[in-house]
């Protein structure tokens, strides 16, 4: 069998090294974007926490300015039981202060307090020489889960420029759909040509088979004729044989 491809279609859609590299980079960027969205948005929302940007160097070298800190939410009733010395927590320094502080717990006091809680937490920045004021479990907003280095400024820029982000996403989506895709090549199958010698041999075989069939049909016709007329010359007794009546009377 002989197969031929549509050469014009293959030429139009042939992958060049540049196209291959571009497709690989596009796929890597899409995967990276999906991963960042999962780490910065989905995971904090699922755990009731938040993704925060480190603004100062009080927790260096553990956390540096510009890093993203993801904290998981925690109920006030669970703070005294679940938070231990050495944990990093995010809390409100004062009830009327919207700013958040992320420091390490260096001490813990257990008792009964006026706000109906059973402990006080003492925190301190890793780079600070002095501890912070004791805080109540009601001030705690989350427990450190994981950090993403140097992504804080990018995250802040995205938050401050949502229109640019939307336009960029639309441009990428349009480019993705407008880039021509590789089409499957069409395959046309043609029967193999017969050689002159092969054709003559084939014709001789057919003629031989036809003669064999004719001889067989003639033999069958002769057998049927003898069965229908038993007195034909072919059925007479051989010389020297007695007639049937004489054999019966002896």
Asked whether residue 188 is domain-assigned, the answer is: no
Is 144 in the same domain as 204? no
Can you give the pLDDT at residue 247? 46
Asked whether residue 8 is domain-assigned, the answer is: no
Q: Are 112 and 118 in contact (CB under 8 A)?
A: yes
Can you give the pLDDT at residue 131? 96
Is 208 in the same domain as 144? no
3-state secondary structure of 130: coil
Query: What is the β-pairing status of strands 68-72 and 140-148?
Result: antiparallel
Q: What is the pLDDT of residues 104-158, one digit of tens each?
A: 999 999 999 999 999 999 999 999 999 999 999 999 999 999 998 988 877 777 7
Global model pTM greater than 0.75: no
Is 135 in the same domain as 76? yes
Is 152 in the same domain as 92? yes
Is 74 in the same domain as 137? yes
Q: Are 58 and 128 in contact (CB under 8 A)?
A: yes
Is 156 in the same domain as 62? yes
- For a pLDDT cut of 90, what percent of the chain falls above it? 36
How far apart are the C-alpha atoms of 164 and 26, rounded to whole Å?
Answer: 19
Asked whether residue 140 is domain-assigned, the answer is: yes
Asked whether residue 38 is domain-assigned, the answer is: no
Is 53 in the same domain as 116? yes
Mean model confidence pLDDT for the chain:
79
> Which residues, including other chains, have CB under 8 Å from residue 84's CB and lie 6 or more apart?
105, 108
Is 79 in the same domain as 142? yes
Asked whether residue 11 is domain-assigned, the answer is: no
Asked whether residue 186 is domain-assigned, the answer is: no
Asked whether residue 97 is domain-assigned, the answer is: yes
How far apart are the C-alpha atoms of 122 and 106, rounded to whole Å?
Answer: 6
Can you give the pLDDT at residue 24? 77
DSSP state letter for 142: E
Can you give the pLDDT at residue 91? 96
Is 67 in the same domain as 152? yes
Domain of residue 206 covers 196-234
Which domain CATH number covers 74?
Answer: 2.10.109.10
CA atoms within 13 A on the CB side of 21: 3
Can you give the pLDDT at residue 82? 95
User: Is residue 229 predicted with pLDDT exceeding 90?
Assistant: no
Q: Are 134 and 116 in contact (CB under 8 A)?
A: no
- For a pLDDT cut of 70, what percent of the chain falls above it? 74
Q: Which residue has the higher pLDDT, 223 or 138?
A: 138
Is 101 in the same domain as 153? yes
**How confident is the model over 207-224, as a mean pLDDT?**
86
- Phi, then psi, of 144 in degrees rounded to 5: -55, 135
Q: Say if residue 61 is preceded by a cis peptide, omega within 30 of 0.
A: yes
Residue 13: pLDDT band by 50, 70, 90 thresholds?
Answer: very low
Q: Are 72 and 145 in contact (CB under 8 A)?
A: yes
User: Exposure string (b/e) for 71-84, b if CB count within 10 Å is 16 or more?
Assistant: bbbbeeeebbeebe
Helix (H) or strand (E) holding 47: helix 43-47
> Which residues, including other chains, have CB under 8 Å from residue 107's CB and lie 6 or more apart?
85, 121, 122, 131
Q: Are 22 and 175 in contact (CB under 8 A)?
A: no
Asked whether residue 43 is domain-assigned, the answer is: no
Is 230 in the same domain as 154? no
Alpha helices in 119-242 (DSSP H): 152-160, 162-178, 196-228
User: Is residue 217 predicted with pLDDT exceeding 70?
Assistant: yes
Alpha helices in 62-195 (DSSP H): 76-82, 152-160, 162-178
Is 113 in the same domain as 208? no
Q: What is the pLDDT of residues 44-95, one digit of tens each?
A: 888 889 999 999 999 999 999 999 999 999 999 999 999 999 999 999 998 6
How many domains are there within the chain?
Answer: 2
């Amino acid at each position: 069998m002989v197969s031929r491809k549509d050469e014009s279609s293959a030429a139009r859609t042939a992958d060049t090294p540049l196209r291959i590299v571009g497709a690989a980079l596009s796929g890597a960027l899409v995967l990276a974007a999906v991963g960042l969205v999962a780490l910065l948005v989905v995971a904090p929302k699922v755990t009731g926490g938040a993704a925060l940007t480190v603004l100062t160097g009080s927790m260096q070298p553990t956390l540096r300015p510009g890093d993203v800190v993801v904290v998981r939410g925690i109920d006030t009733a669970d703070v005294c039981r679940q938070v231990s010395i050495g944990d990093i927590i995010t809390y409100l320094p004062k009830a009327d202060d919207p700013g958040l502080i992320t420091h390490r717990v260096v001490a813990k006091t257990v008792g009964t307090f006026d706000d109906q809680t059973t402990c006080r937490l003492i925190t301190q920045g890793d780079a600070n020489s002095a501890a912070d004021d004791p805080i109540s479990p009601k001030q705690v907003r989350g427990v450190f889960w994981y950090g993403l280095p140097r992504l804080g400024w990018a995250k802040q820029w995205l938050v401050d420029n949502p229109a640019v982000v939307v336009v960029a996403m639309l441009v990428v989506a349009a480019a993705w759909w407008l880039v021509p895709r590789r089409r499957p090549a069409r395959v046309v199958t043609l029967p193999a040509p017969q050689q002159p010698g092969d054709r003559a041999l084939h014709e001789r075989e057919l003629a031989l088979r036809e003669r064999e069939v004719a001889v067989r049909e003639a033999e069958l016709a002769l057998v049927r004729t003898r069965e229908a007329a038993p007195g034909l010359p072919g059925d007479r007794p051989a010389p020297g044989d007695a007639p049937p009546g004489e054999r019966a009377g002896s």
